[in-house]
Each structure stands twice: as structure tokens, then as C-alpha cells.
Amino acid sequence: MIAFLLSRLTSALLVVFGVSVLVFLLIHAVPGDPVEVMLGETSQPADREELRRALGLDQPLPVQMAEYYRRLLDFDLGTSLYSRRPVAEILAERFPATLELAVAGLAVALLLALPLGVLAAMRRGTAWDNGAMMFSMLGVSIPNFLMGPLLILVFSLWLGWLPVSGRDGWGSLVLPAITLGTALAAILSRMIRATLLEALGEDYILTARAKGLPWYRVILRHALRNALLPVMTLLGLQLGALLAGTVITEIVFSWPGIGQLTIESIHRRDYPVVQACILLIAVSYVLVNALTDLAYGWLDPRVRLGGREGGER
Amino acid sequence: MVTARGKRRGAGRPMSRMLGLLCLVAALLGCAADVPREDLRFGLAAMPVTLDPRHATDAASARIIRLLYQRLVEFDEHAMPVPGIADWETPEPTRYRFNLQSPRPRFSNGAELAAADVVASYESVLDERTGSAHRISLENVAAVRAVGDDVVEFLLHRPDPLFPGRLTIGIMPRQLLQAGQQFNRSPVGSGPFEFVAWPADGELRLRRRADGVDFAFLAVSDPTVRVLKVLRGEIDMIQNDLPPELVSWLREREEVRVSAGSGSNFAYLGFNLRDPLTGQPELRRAIAHAIDREALIRYVLGDTARPAGGILPPEHWAGLGDSGVPYDPDEARRLLASIGAQGARIVYKTSTDPVRLRLATAIQRQLAEIGIDVDLRSYDWGTFYGDIKAGNFQMYSLSWVGVKLPEIYRYAFHSTALPPLGANRGFFVDTVADRLIERAEAAISTPAQIEPLHSLQRRLLEALPYVPLWYEDHVFVARSDIRGYQIAADGNYDSLVMVRRVGAGDA
């Protein structure tokens, strides 16, 4: 177990380091001058040079990079070139919003996917199955930038039930969470259906039925528990993607999260903020996936993390 | 099997209950949203970057800062400097004496604004360590000093008839400046509004000092969502940054009122004069004649612009009032033929902004009519602007925003203002234009500047380093119960001082 954790930690650090190097080089390679953004286009060359020197942007790229990692080791993410506020402070404001939205989106996805997937598997080949799968196809097919405004139109403008956008109370979380969760629900429900169908054909299910267990116990206690194992892996990956990829939803709903901040900062060439956002996303991704691996081992006793048994089977 | 089916039907009931519960929650949330609000809400496409007048360079910051701070000098509708919180006299060409109005205004912390505060504010801007973007516009200031509590004197290195127009920095309290107050997030000024809170990146709260009404400025970057929020009453007012089709749609809605006012933001086509093709004046004139601006304004911009003849609009005290090069495709073809440039291929760069891109596509089509093949390329703002400043273009479109002083001509067209020293990005080198710019600068008064500035603008219309397109209107959309807002030519939010919500039956 300890060996497994150490190996995961090492690979996680390598991934995060690789991502940070790549982002650092890419964002500095993109045309556009942050000093221009800060001082405005009527600034004079002397002022621009002065500010460039003050920010260390006049240094060669390797020197800037070394300085960046030196500060990173002190947990100093730097100061935003644009707003001149500490980057850590900005992230601390934005990350809870993204986390809230990602968790809510995941909850919506599970709430939709579980009943749909189970229903489709249990009523395989019927209108229920077709209906559930058609819904999932719709969910995947409608992009978030269309789904978001459609939901706003119906639930905010026509019905007047929910706020259009912003982060102002629980009501404002509903539409972005549905937008985000629907596409994921579609993928999950198809996966649950497939794995459940496979599980329902196993001998232990026949045994359970033969023992006279009620159908819901057969499904919940036996079939679904095993069917959910591969779904767990997908969920882990998707939560990581939700933490990183809520950009469109955040923009449509003016949700003040990390995705929106990353895009804004790329446009402004705000190097420290872009680097910190990507770093945060990478760390979240790696962390969630490591936790998924751990959970996988806990849920399935046959899986021994890093042990010999797993290798010999 | 029968039992199982029966149980399944039974299992459906909790699902129905859950759906019912969800609807109830949604309905309750809806009720909560309908509670009448006390505050007034203004939607912005982007939040201000800073509330510190020394560092603000973006339009959103400048407009909010105007609400929080007062300035020595304002501009009238002709962009002539007029007294703000002080009137002035010029005992000598290099000495300006400003007398603060009586009674002197008070800062939002209760302290009375005094000459020492003005001195401290300007000394802070002039201090290199502050890193203010506005220092360069005040480089002619040799010294600034207080004479008692009511008088401030500025001593200049050399005469400058435009000098009062440069004194538009918001005045901050001296004590707080010395204490190192973070004005970017905790502003204290003497303006009609005071800072309340900046609880989130997308929300800024101010209070109107005269009557204590709270105002919330909310950032909603997507224009469609911004409009939907106005229609639902989550936002009371928005201004600009709306696609023309949304404006046209809003004009037919009962819930809102749409008004438009003439603006001074100048849109133009720029050329690289070092390029063998776009360096030819005949080709640039042919392009100017080929663009049907009236059609573009009507069909693409939804009648929210007016044709332009130069950077300064007609109402500006130095504006020429010319409407630019007329649409004449036959003349355009003749000019092209005269230089053998039929079928010429030009790379036209623009940003990815949807409206800019749509305009560029329409211009591409119009130029195709006279036989110019336009290769349209759109880039994200940073890349596009970087290319323009580096001179890496043949033709591009951009706008000048918020121009008040005629010194823009030196910055954009003088031969000493080639990049990186200035914004003469097309490498326009013209001795006649240089002389006229220098003559205007040497004039001892603004009336004496008018003649050389008019001659300069005529010269620019001949040489066409830019093809003037239009001045963009400001569009204001408000809920139908909002009254008192007046659109300013530069798009400032000053009239929020008078805005109020009227009840049913009020006029």
C-alpha cells in the first residue's frame, strides 16, 4: 500500500511538473504583451521597460522559469499582472465556486444516470430502454453553450423559477449544474446500462434470484454494486474534467470559477494567474484520480493496490 | 412476475414524489427571486480592473472611478476642458493656478478635500515608484504646490495650452496616500458614490452618497445572458457591448427601453505603408471608395453608428466635420486599374469578436466587388494586437476609444512616433503632416490650434494612412421602470447620480 502511494505520488509530481513546464513555455510563447495590458497603449517605452524590469519580465526565459519554481517551492504563486492582487487570493475566491459547480454537476449526473441506466438494463429492448438511451444521446449531442441558454430561456425567462446567471444562493446553482450534469449523465447511464446487463447475466445473480430475493435487492445488493466499479473509474476521470472543463458553463452562467478565470487570464496574458490555474487544475485532476484508485481497491477486495496478488491472477 | 411488476409500480411513487419536491423547490426559489429589490443593478461586460485612479487604463475602471472620485477638470460636450472641482487662471504660460470650489467637497470618510490632497495625488502619479500609466501625460509638470487650503499651482517646463485637459486624475486623501492605502480595492474619494464592498470578482457594490441608494455592478460577459438578466429583472441597466441583432430585438420588448446616443469611438481601417501594395495611395483610396459605409451601418450595425471622417468627431472643438471618402465603386475600379492592381490580394487582420468579424466579412465582400481579393484572418485579441503593434500586417481594423485631446495626432501619425515610440503603426511618414502637428502644438491657445489641426485632418484624408469608417453609438438598455439616465458621448456612467426606479403610475 505504501509502495503504491509513493509510486502514485511520484507520478503525480511528475505530471504536475510536466504540465507546469509546458504551460510556462506555451503562455510565454504566445504573442501579446502583459505590460501593454497593464499600462495601456498610450504608455511610453521607458515606462514599459521600467515595469518589465520591475516584474522580472526582462529576464531570459530560463531565469524567469527558475524564479517561478523557486517561489513555487515557497508556496508563492506570485501576483496577478492584471489586477496586481496575490494569485493565491484570487484562486481562493474562485476555486470554491468551481468545486461547488463540479460537485453539483456530478450529483445531477448521478441522479439522472443511475435510474436511467438501471431502467434501461432492466427493460432491455423495450420502449423504456429506447427512451432512456435516446435521452442519453440527446444529452451528449447538445453542447453546453446551447443547453445553457435553452435552460435559461425555459426556467428563467418563461417560467421565472430560477435566476438567469450569477452565483447568488442555491437557486443559481440549479441550471449550471443541470447543464454540466446532463452530458455526463448521458455517458454514465450508457455505461451503467452496459455493465449492469453484463452483471445481470452472471451466475451469482441467477443464484440470488433462485434464492427468492426481491428484484430490488438483487439489483442494489448484487448486480449494481459490481456494475458500478468501472463507473467509478469514469466518475473519477469526469470529476477531474469537471474541475478543469467547466469553462463554457461558467461563461454562459457568469459563474465566477476557475475556468472563466483561466480564459480571461489567457486573453490578458496574465502569466502568473494562467500558470496557477493550470497548476491547480492539474493537481485536482491527479488528486481525484489517485483517490479513485484508492476507492477502487476499497470497493473491490479482489483489487490489491500494488500487491503481488493482483499480478498473479 | 406479477408481484415484481406490482413492486415496480410501487417503486415509481418515490420518483414522482421526488419530481414533485423538485418542482416545489424550484417554485420556492422562483418566489425568492421575485422579492422586490432595493438596490439598482448595472450589468457590465467586464469588471473594472482597479479602483485606483493612478493605475486605471481600461474603460470599465475609468467609468467607475469617475463615480468615486472628483477631478480638477472635466470636459464639455465639445471636449473643451471646463472646471471640475476647481476653476483656473494662467498668470504665466508655464504657471496654472487652480482655485478649489467653495465649499470644498468632502471625501467619503468625512474629511474635507484640500489643496494638499490635490498635491499629494499628483505627486504620487508623478513619482516613478508608483508606476502610474498616467505619468507620461504629466511629464511637462515641473512642480505642483499648495497655496493655502484652496489653491494649487502647477509649474510647467514649457507652455501647453492643453494642460488643464490633462488634469483628470481623481483626487485621493493625502493622509491615506501617505499611509499606503490600497485604493485599488478600498477606494476613498469625494465623488457622488462611495465604495461599499467588492465581495466577489464579478460584483462591485457602491452607494450613492446623496440618498444612500445602493448600486451593484455585476459582470456578465456573455451578451445574450446579460440581456436575459435585464428581461428577467435581475439587472436594471446595461450599456454597450451588445450585438446589433440583440439591440434590434430588445427595441420590440415591452419590459425594457432602449436608447442610443452619439459616441466618439472611432473605427478605422489601417494600412502598412511599407508594404508594396498597401503603400500605394491609389490602392488605399480605391478601398475607401469601395466600402459602402451607409449599408454596413444600416445592415450590420443596426443603425448604431455614424460615418466618420477622422479621429475627432464633428462636435469636438478641433473636429473637421468631414464625413470621409464617399462610396464610389466606379472610381475605385478606375483607381485600381490606374496602378494595375486588379485582382490584388490583401491580408486583412481582425480580432475574433463576432461583430468585428461580421463587419470584416462584409468589407471583404465589398472589396471583392471591385476586384480585390481579401484574405481575412481573425486572431484572439492578444495575438492580433501584438501583430498590429509589430507592424506585421497589410490591412487591419481597430477603434480609437476615449480620445479627447488632439495630441493623438502626434501619437498616431507623426514620423517620430513609429513603434515602439508611438502608435504610428502603419509607418506613415509625411513631412506636411509632421509640420502641421508641430504647428498645432506650438500654438499658444486652443483657438490658434484649430487651423493647423483642420489642415492636418484634410491632409490625412488625402494621404489616407487610415480609412475612416464610423463613430460607434452608445446603446443603453434599462428596465421600463428606470428613469434619469443620460448617455454620455464618451460612455461614462456619470448620470447614475440621477437614476431612480419609479413605481407603477409614476411618470
pLDDT value of position A184? 87
Which of A138-142, A205-209, B309-313 is the most confident on average? B309-313
Q: B-chain residues within 8 Å CB-CB of A156?
A: 228, 232
CB contact under 8 A, A254 and B221: yes
In contact, B405 and B318? CB cutoff 8 Å: no
Task: Say whether pLDDT at B10 is over 60.
Answer: no
Task: Say whether pLDDT at B100 is over 90.
Answer: yes
> What's the grid cell of residue B400?
480609437
Q: Which of A80-84, B142-146, B273-277, B480-484 has the lowest mean pLDDT?
A: A80-84
Q: Which amino acid type is present at position B309? A: G
Helix (H) or strand (E) holding B155: strand B151-156
Mean confidence (pLDDT) of chain B:
89
pLDDT in tens, B133-187: 788 889 899 999 999 999 999 999 999 888 999 999 999 999 999 999 999 999 9
pLDDT value of position A42? 62
Q: Considering only the beta carbons, identify the residue of A45, A54, A166 that sits closest to B131.
A: A54
pLDDT value of position A221? 79
CB contact under 8 A, A43 and B133: yes
CB contact under 8 A, A170 and B32: no
User: Which chain B residue's Cα is nearest to A80?
Assistant: B49
DSSP secondary structure, B223-268, as one string: HHHHHHHHHHTS-SEEES---HHHHHHHHT-SSEEEEEEEEEEEEE
pLDDT in tens, A41-100: 666 677 777 778 877 888 888 898 888 888 888 888 888 888 778 999 999 988 899 989
pLDDT value of position A312? 39
Q: B-chain residues within 8 Å CB-CB of A152?
A: 225, 228
pLDDT value of position B216? 96
Q: Cα(B492)–Cα(A38) distance, rounded to whole angstroms?
A: 21
Q: Considering only the beta carbons, identify the residue of B220, B382, B420 that sits closest to A32.
A: B382
Task: Say whether pLDDT at B292 is over 50.
Answer: yes
> What's the grid cell of residue B430?
509625411
Task: Say whether pLDDT at B23 is over 50.
Answer: no
Q: Considering only the beta carbons, identify the residue of A90, A161, A164 that sits closest to B234.
A: A164
CB contact under 8 A, B50 and A152: no
Task: Say whether pLDDT at B105 is over 90.
Answer: yes
Is the model more confident about A80 or about B8?
A80
pLDDT value of position B1? 35
Average pLDDT over residues B480-494: 93
- Helices (H) and strands (E) in chain A — how many of each? 15, 0
A208: distance to nearest CA of chain B, Å?
A: 15
CA B292 to chain centre: 25
Q: Residue B44: pLDDT band by 50, 70, 90 thresholds?
A: very high
Q: B-chain residues within 8 Å CB-CB of A36?
A: 385, 389
Average pLDDT over residues B192-201: 92
CB contact under 8 A, A40 and B185: no
In contact, B277 and B271? CB cutoff 8 Å: no
Q: Considering only the beta carbons, identify the residue of B15, B202, B382 that sits closest to A31.
A: B382
Interface test with B, best of A30, A41, A271 (most B CBs within 10 A): A41
pLDDT value of position B335? 96
B51: distance to nearest CA of chain A, Å?
A: 10
In contact, A291 and A236? CB cutoff 8 Å: yes
CB contact under 8 A, A36 and B389: yes
pLDDT value of position A40? 65
pLDDT value of position B16? 45
Give ipTM to 2 decimals: 0.70
Is the model more confident about B67 or about A163?
B67
Share of chain B above pLDDT 70, in %: 92
Write the CB contacts of A2 (distance below 8 Å, at least 6 apart in sequence). none
B465: distance to nearest CA of chain A, Å?
A: 19
CB contact under 8 A, B382 and A269: yes
A301: distance to nearest CA of chain B, Å?
A: 31
> What's the grid cell of residue B249?
430585438
What b-and-e string marks burial along A49-69, b requiring 16 or more CB atoms within 10 Å of the CB?
Answer: ebbbeebebeeeeeebbeebe
User: Which chain A residue's Cα is nearest to B228?
Assistant: A164
Q: Considering only the beta carbons, identify the residue of A47, A50, A83 that sits closest to B50.
A: A83
Average pLDDT over residues B467-495: 95
CB contact under 8 A, A160 and B7: no
Q: Which of A143-152, A164-173, A243-252, B68-77 has the lowest mean pLDDT?
A: A243-252
pLDDT in tens, A97-139: 998 999 999 999 999 998 898 888 888 888 888 888 888 888 8
Q: Which CA distances in Å does B119 have to B84, B164, B192?
A: 16, 15, 21
Q: B-chain residues within 8 Å CB-CB of A215?
A: 4, 7-8
Q: Considering only the beta carbons, identify the residue of A40, A50, A174 that sits closest to B57.
A: A40
Q: Which of A309-313, B294-298, B364-368, B471-475 has the lowest mean pLDDT?
A: A309-313
Q: Considering only the beta carbons, identify the residue of B128, B136, B184 that sits closest to A43.
A: B136
Tell me whether residue B178 is exposed, middle or buried, using C-beta atoms within 10 angstroms of its C-beta: 0 to 12, 13 to 18, 19 or more: exposed
Interface test with B, best of A52, A111, A254 (most B CBs within 10 A): A254
Q: Cα(A199)–Cα(A190) distance, rounded to whole angstroms?
A: 14
pLDDT value of position A288? 83
Average pLDDT over residues A297-304: 66
pLDDT value of position A243? 75
A236: distance to nearest CA of chain B, Å?
A: 27
pLDDT value of position B391? 86
User: Which chain B residue's Cα is nearest to A171?
Assistant: B29
A313: distance to nearest CA of chain B, Å?
A: 39
B398: distance to nearest CA of chain A, Å?
A: 13
Q: Which of A301-305, B62-66, B219-223 has the lowest mean pLDDT?
A: A301-305
pLDDT value of position B408? 92
Write the CB contacts of A15 (distance below 8 Å, at least 6 apart in sequence). A282, A286
Measured over all CA atoms, what is the biggest interatomic distance in chain B, rounded to whole angstroms? 105
B189: distance to nearest CA of chain A, Å?
A: 20
Sign (positive/negative) of CA torsion B90, B92, B95, B99?
Answer: negative
User: Using the 8-state DSSP alphabet, how is residue B106 labeled?
Assistant: B
Q: Considering only the beta carbons, identify the residue of B55, B202, B228 that sits closest to A256.
A: B202
Task: Say whether pLDDT at B26 is over 60.
Answer: no
Q: A-chain residues within 8 Å CB-CB of B236?
A: none
Average pLDDT over residues B458-476: 96
Q: A-chain residues within 8 Å CB-CB of B203?
A: 166
Interface test with A, best of B23, B51, B220, B236 (most A CBs within 10 A): B220
User: Using the 8-state DSSP alphabet, how is residue A79 labeled?
Assistant: B
pLDDT in tens, A242-293: 776 578 888 888 888 898 899 888 888 888 999 999 888 888 888 888 787 7
Q: Cα(A199)–Cα(A227) distance, rounded to whole angstroms?
A: 6
Q: Residue A210: pLDDT band by 50, 70, 90 thresholds?
A: confident
Beta-strand pair B395-400/B345-351: parallel
User: For chains A and B, what is the number of CB pairs under 8 angstroms?
Assistant: 143
CB contact under 8 A, B200 and A93: yes
Place of cell 497589410: B394
Task: Say whether pLDDT at B14 is over 70.
Answer: no
Q: B-chain residues within 8 Å CB-CB of A248?
A: none
Average pLDDT over residues B403-431: 91
Q: A-chain residues within 8 Å CB-CB of B383?
A: 30-32
CA B326 to chain centre: 27
